[in-house]
Amino acid sequence: MRRLRIALLAAAAALFTLPAPAQEHWTEGPVWVVSYYRTKPGKFDEYMRYLRGTAAVSLAESKREGLLLDSKVLVNSAIGGADDWDVALAELFPSYGKALDFNAADDAKSKALAEKRYKTPDQDKQREAIAPRFLLRDLVARKYFREVTLKPLP
């Protein structure tokens, strides 16, 4: 009877120690935060100019300071309706923690970059400086994606 119990416990333990399917198929990589926007009517070109200027500089500074790994701008060439996105901004972070969790050191770096960019430490004035971009587009959605590297088949 004792042997039977031990055998059953060993079998049950083996069932619970199987690798998770995700770990079997890939290794985890960095995390993309993708913000999907719909530009307001007649504002697409103006928003593109904003992205090419102010946003590009800001993203490059953030990358240089180690706040993000990379960034991309995506344009939707198959818009499915009036509520669909037409421009997406993707930012790459090393982990979900870096993308989502507050970090005092990163916050201090971000504030220093904003102070330099807007030439004032006053956060209200900084918000006033960026407010015009909100007249150009509306946020449709924000999604988080884990980049993975597929493992080769045996």
Total number of domains constituting the chain: 1
127 in any annotated domain: no
Domain residue limits at 84:
22-95+137-147
| Residues 6+ positions from 44 with CB-CB distance below 8 Å | 86, 87
Query: pLDDT value at position 1?
Result: 63
Query: pLDDT value at position 108?
Result: 94
Query: pLDDT value at position 22?
Result: 60
129 in any annotated domain: no
Sites in the chain below the pLDDT cut of 70 = 1-22
Residue 82 per-residue DSSP state? T
Tokens 């946003």 sit on residue: 55
Query: pLDDT value at position 82?
Result: 85
What is the CATH classification number for the domain harbouring 65?
Answer: 3.30.70
Nearest to 123 by CA among 107, 138, 142, 134: 107
Query: pLDDT value at position 11?
Result: 61
- Is 26 exposed, middle or buried (CB count within 10 Å of its CB: 0-12, 13-18, 19+)? middle
Q: What is the CA radius of gyration of the chain?
A: 23
Report residue 133 as tokens: 């971009």
Give Dmax over CA atoms of the chain in angstroms: 79
pTM: 0.80
SS3 content of the chain, % helix, strand, coil (to 5): 50, 25, 25
120 in any annotated domain: no
